[in-house]
Each structure stands twice: as structure tokens, then as C-alpha cells.
Amino acid sequence: MSFSISELLENKQDQQFNLYHQYLNHQLLNVLKTLGFNKKYVRAENQYLFDSEGLRYLDLLSGYGVFSFGRNHPQIIKAVKETLDLGLANMVQFDAPLLAACLAEKLAQFLPPELNKFFFCNSGTEAIEGAIKFARAATKRPKMLSCDSAFHGLTTGSLALNGSEIFKKDFYPLLAAETVPFNDLEALEAALKTKQFSCFVLEPIQGKTVKIPDPDYLPQASALCQKYNTLFIIDEVQTGVGRTGKFLASQHWPEAQADIITLSKALSGGLVPVGVIAMKPWIFEKIYRNMEHAVIHSCTFGRNDLAMTAALATLDVLESEDMMTQAAIKGKKLLSLLREKLLPFEMVKEVRGLGMMIGIEFCPPKSLKLKAGWTLLEAANKGLFCQLIVIPLFRDFRLLTQVAGPNCHVVKLLPPITMSDSDIEETANAFQQVVAMAHNFPGAIWDLGKTLAKHSWAKT
Ligand code: PLP
């Protein structure tokens, strides 16, 4: 009998959670069960997921930002199938693959002209790992600088740049790195002045808090890096490829000049993982300085034909469907509707965002009744309140959202740019109803809070 994935999926569907529990991350499964997110998804189309009971979910998480252009985009699938059918000589390794060269040529059209040398890899964290190596080789300074609320990936190099101790504490010693507060130019200059840092690595919008920089932050940070001979690495892994209404989020501040830019996530079209480091040629040449060093930084799958194809097709879709304009227009609409419906509530501190990257920040209530509930949750786990928003959004309205990061009070939306006007209205209305419920104490939402507070995962 020939091997069939459809048959395998059908035959094993009943065992899905048991197998996952036995062989994979059982703690994640426990979290999913506790929060009620343990659904069996069987199909996805554009902005929607469908579960085994035929229920439809609006995906406002888009695989952590991978599906900016929707899931299973027919044009990207077609391109990948075409490449498979061509029977190309993929990953010869001792060759100069045409599709990689074509992707580099295409990317150069979207990026600042001085960033015209590229290294392809497989993920966001791998792009950051590579960027760290290029920066260290170029400056001969071992230490790195990042922001206190930063997230740049979870392998041991990029982990050192992470602002949050919860991700790092089990893994010391890490590479030498320090953090400065986001949006604080004085602190940045004080650190850079020491001239010990190879690079300052920055997400233009902080993914774990959806903090947006002050208007002069990126331009001034870029000038300070130049002044103290520190490379400015802008991490656009989450914000890049059109999500914020421009190809790069940092292009909203055109005076900011990066030395290195990292991309990944959406560039894959959600089909084949890909990562990119784009940089100035002089930095590239510090590693690839002669033939002996031609493969000093390399990876086996980096330039593979399927990833290059998915990225080329994704960039084609970006242009043909005018995704950047769509992200700008829809993002503005979603942001203003959410502001209109949520800002009147006392526990909503701010609704902020750029394009299709939006954060809703909550704050402690003033009224005594609500305060009791909030304090109970905070004592169990800082940031637990946001689960009281995310869970009913999913359970009652079938909207998939996330808490932006550990210990924070921000619910984050990274919707597919392709979501419709009626999805936008549905989202804002659902948020309004759930946030209204959260302002009713006692009530069903706070009962859920008590149950969550009791769970051991809150404290470990
Ligand atoms: N950099 C940023 C800004 C990210 O948001 C992420 C992931 O969320 C990464 C790097 C790491 O990417 P990956 O999960 O592909 O390793």
C-alpha cells in the first residue's frame, strides 16, 4: 500500500492528544486544556481555521505572524508545487543556486539600497544568530546591547539579547550582553559611550509589549550607533514584509539607517521556513574575506529551492495584492474601532499599533470591587488578567488572540492582512463584549480567573 498523508491523518485523528502528550510537550498540552484551546484543527483557509467539529475560527495570531498574507495562499502553494514538479538540482551546496540569487535581487528592491548583501537561513533566531556573528567579526567587540523588553529568539545567542529573565534564567552563562530601557536615548548613549558593544539590536516595535517608539527614537538610536562605531541591527522578523504598512516597520522612520536587517516569518508565505540577514557589503566582507573563509558562516538548508520559491512567490503576492496598502488601511480601521469601543472602559489603558500589529494594554481598576479580583489574579501570576480576555474571545467568539508576553497586561493582535471588513467589525464587537464582561465583578469571567489562579502552572 502506498503512503498517504490523508489516510494517516484520518486514522490517527482520535489519538492526536494522546500521542502529543506521550512524545511531545505535554506541559503545552496541559496549558491548552486549562485555557480551553485544545481544539483539533483540520483545515485552514486564508484568515480562518476550521476544527474537527466544523467550527470556524478567525485567526488573529497568524502563526505568530507567519501568515501575514493568509493561510494556504493559492499562488504561493502553486509556486512551491511547480518547483517540486520541476525536479531541480536542489541543495547541491557546491553551486550558486539561481533561485537564491533571484530572491536576493528581489529583496534588494524592497530594502534600503546600502543593505545589498544577503545571507539566507531558516528562522528568525538563526537570522539573529548570524547577525551577531557578523557584528562581532566586523567590530571585534564581543558584547551586545538590546532593549529590556526585547525578544529576538530562543537559541542561546539570541537568548542573550532577550529582555525577559523568565526565558533566560535556566540557561546561564549566555553570551555577553546588556539591556537598556526601550525608548530611552540617554541610557542608550551612556551604554554606547563605553564602546564595548558590537551591536545594538532593536525591534522597531517591541513584539512582547507592542511598544511603539517615540518619533525620534529610531533616527537618534541610529545616529548614536554611528557615533560610537556600534552596528545598528534592526530585527524585522515580526514587523517586516508589509505587516505595518511598509515593507519594513523601520521605514516609518526613514532617517534611521540600519547596518544589518533580519527578516523571517511572513517571508515564508507560511509554507517553507526562511530567514534572511541583509547587510552592508563591508560587514559581509569581514566574514567572507577570502576563499578560505567562503563557508565560515553557512547552513545546510539556507538557500534551498522550496524556501526561495515560497519567498519569491510571497513577494509577488505582496505586490500583486498591494498588501502594504491593505495593512495600512485595515490596521487603521481596526485600531480606531478598537479605540472607540474599548477606551471608555476603566481597565483599558491604551490601544496602540501600527498597521496590522496591535496591542490592547490593560491596567489596574480604580473601583473597589474590581480591584479585589485584579489583586487576586496578580498575586497568582502577573499578567493573568489578560487570559480572562483571551479565553472568552476564543471560547465565545472563536477569535484566536494571544497575551503579548510574560508578566504583561497586553493582548496582542497580529492578524492576517487579508482579513475582511466584516472580520474587523466582528473583532471589535467581540472585544467590546468581553471587556464589558470583565468589568462586571463578580461574574463568570472572574470565576474563570479564580480557577486559573488556583492552577499550579501560574506559579512555576
Ligand atoms: N526576532 C523577533 C522580533 C521575533 O518576534 C522572533 C519570534 O517571534 C524571533 C526573532 C525568533 O524567530 P523564530 O521563532 O523564527 O526563531
End-to-end CA gap in the chain: 48
Q: Is 264 in the pocket of ligand 1 (CB under 6 A)?
A: yes
In a domain, 236, yes or no: yes
Q: Is 234 in the pocket of ligand 1 (CB under 6 A)?
A: no
Contact 127, 237 (CB under 8 A): yes
- For 284-312, the DSSP string reads HHHHS-SGGGTTSS--TTTT-HHHHHHHH
Residue pLDDT, tens place only, 434-449: 999 999 988 888 888 8
Taking Cα atoms as reference points, which of 66, 44, 47 lies closest to residue 421? 47
Helices (H) and strands (E) in the chain, counts: 18, 15
165 plus 292 within the same structural domain: yes
Residue pLDDT, tens place only, 249-258: 999 999 999 9
**How far is the C-alpha of 329 from the C-alpha of 417, rounded, in Å?**
10
In a domain, 49, yes or no: yes
263 plus 243 within the same structural domain: yes
Beta strands 260-263 and 348-354, pairing class:
unpaired
296 plus 253 within the same structural domain: yes
CA of 71 from ligand 1 middle (Å) equals: 19
Residue 460 has pLDDT above 50, yes or no: no
Query: Which of 320, 351, 380 is at the close of a domain?
Result: 320
Tell me the best of 66, 123, 151 to mutate to test the pocket of ligand 1, counting ligand atoms within 8 Å of each CB and taking the most: 151
Mean pLDDT along residues 50-66: 98
Q: What is the CATH number of the domain that holds 368?
A: 3.90.1150.10
Residue pLDDT, tens place only, 339-369: 999 999 999 999 999 999 999 999 999 999 8
**How far is the C-alpha of 91 from the C-alpha of 103, rounded, in Å?**
15
Query: Which atom of ligand 1 is closest in space to residue 264's alpha carbon?
Result: 15
Query: Which of 302, 320, 338 is at the close of a domain?
Result: 320
**How far is the C-alpha of 434 from the C-alpha of 390, rounded, in Å?**
9
Q: What is the pLDDT of residue 2?
A: 93
98-108 vs 305-320: helix axis angle to the nearest 10?
A: 30
Beta strands 260-263 and 231-235, pairing class:
parallel
Q: In what order do the strands lie in the sheet with 197-202?
A: 117-121, 275-279, 260-263, 231-235, 197-202, 143-147, 177-180
**How far is the C-alpha of 266 from the C-alpha of 13, rounded, in Å?**
29
Residue pLDDT, tens place only, 103-157: 999 999 999 999 999 999 999 999 999 999 999 999 999 999 999 999 999 999 9
Tell me the best of 144, 152, 206, 241 to mutate to test the pocket of ligand 1, counting ligand atoms within 8 Å of each CB and taking the most: 152
Contact 126, 155 (CB under 8 A): yes
**How far is the C-alpha of 400 from the C-alpha of 32, rounded, in Å?**
13
Confidence of residue 458 (pLDDT cuts 50, 70, 90): very low
Confidence of residue 429 (pLDDT cuts 50, 70, 90): very high
Q: Is 374 helix (H, G, I), strand (E, B) or coil?
A: helix
Segments forming the whole domain that contains residue 210: 74-320
pTM of the model: 0.97
In a domain, 383, yes or no: yes
408 plus 348 within the same structural domain: yes
31 plus 78 within the same structural domain: no
127 plus 184 within the same structural domain: yes
Q: What is the pLDDT of residue 457?
A: 54
Mean pLDDT along residues 320-328: 98
139 plus 208 within the same structural domain: yes
Residue pLDDT, tens place only, 228-245: 999 999 999 999 999 999
CA of 111 from ligand 1 middle (Å) equals: 19
Q: Write out the three cell numbers for 77.
A: 502553494
Determine phi and psi for 118, rounding to 5 degrees: -130, 145
259 plus 290 within the same structural domain: yes
As for how many domains the chain has, the answer is 2
Q: What is the pLDDT of residue 357?
A: 98
Query: Which of 269, 288, 320 is at the close of a domain?
Result: 320
Q: What is the CATH number of the domain that holds 186?
A: 3.40.640.10
What dihedral angle (degrees, nearest 10) is formed by the CA atoms of 444, 447, 449, 455? -140
Residue pLDDT, tens place only, 67-98: 999 999 999 999 999 999 999 999 999 999 99
In a domain, 9, yes or no: no
101 plus 184 within the same structural domain: yes
Residue 192 has pLDDT above 60, yes or no: yes
In a domain, 290, yes or no: yes
C-alpha distances out from residue 48 to 14, 39, 61, 63, 418, Å = 23, 14, 11, 12, 10
242 plus 168 within the same structural domain: yes
Query: Which atom of ligand 1 is closest in space to residue 123's alpha carbon?
Result: 15
Q: For residue 12, what are the contacts with CB-CB under 8 A and spacing of at least 6?
A: 19
234 plus 340 within the same structural domain: no
Residue 456 has pLDDT above 70, yes or no: no
